[in-house]
Amino acid sequence: SRVFGELIALIETDKRNGKLTATLPSGQPFTVPANLFIIGTMNTADKSIALVDIALRRRFEFVPLYPDTSILEGVLEKKGFNERDVKLRVNLLTTLNQIIRAKKSVDFEIGHSYFMEEHDLIDILNKQVLPLLNEYFMYDLRRVKEIIEKPQKDREGNSIASLGIKLNHAVWKNRGLLEIESLAAPKVKGSQEEETQESAEA
């Protein structure tokens, strides 16, 4: 509000079309037309916009857009990912966000767009998701390591599924850094591997 001043008020419905004007540095009057639609996006986890948010919130309608695994699944299938890879990415996103909701809040959930990329999944986790988790938890790497490796529970005390992530313990021991080494592959219904496992159990 210190930067935009009256310009923020100009976007209100009852102050458009000349009902309220601001004087530009050129000396010309400025107003906002009634038929102008302003649509923006805002990351709820980004606290740097808090001051602007206070000034804008009451002048906008807010529509929450949280991660949607059905969108992720559809995009991955169109890109030709096999069933196992689709399930792995969807399960990881779902479980990570369950943990984040339990430890932080719904506004810190990781978006599904991270997992839409065709890059190697471990690279995505190491170079994009893991740094984000480190930031969320104030670079308390021991806490992040515990969240990744140990069984977690939601706020109601229900168990959250394991992430199936194996960390590189040599990197942790030598440098105190987190690096994902491998991922446990999920079972796919009707797969040969699952049938073999079922036969062995029988």
Per-residue model confidence as pLDDT tens digits over 139-184: 999 999 999 999 999 999 999 999 999 999 999 999 999 999 999 8
Residue 53, pLDDT > 70, answer no
Query: How far is residue 104's CA from residue 66's CA, in Å, rounded to a whole number?
Result: 15
Spatial separation of the C-alpha atoms in residues 66 and 97, rounded to whole Å: 10
Distances from the Cα of 128 to the Cα of 11, 78, 117, 124, angstroms: 36, 23, 11, 5
Are 68 and 114 in contact by the 8 Å Cβ rule? The answer is no
Res. 52 pLDDT band, cuts 50 70 90: low
Amino acid at 132: L
Confidence band of 186 (pLDDT split at 50, 70, 90): low
Average pLDDT over residues 18-39: 91
Interatomic CA distance for residues 87 and 104, integer angstroms:
25
Residue 189 contacts residue 181 (beta carbons within 8 Å)? no
Sign of the CA dihedral with 128 first, then 131, 136, and 141 last? positive
Angle between the 69-78 and 83-103 helix axes, to the nearest 10 degrees?
Answer: 160
Please state the pTM of the whole predicted model: 0.76
Phi-psi region of 36 (alpha: psi -120 to 50; beta: other; left: phi over 0): beta
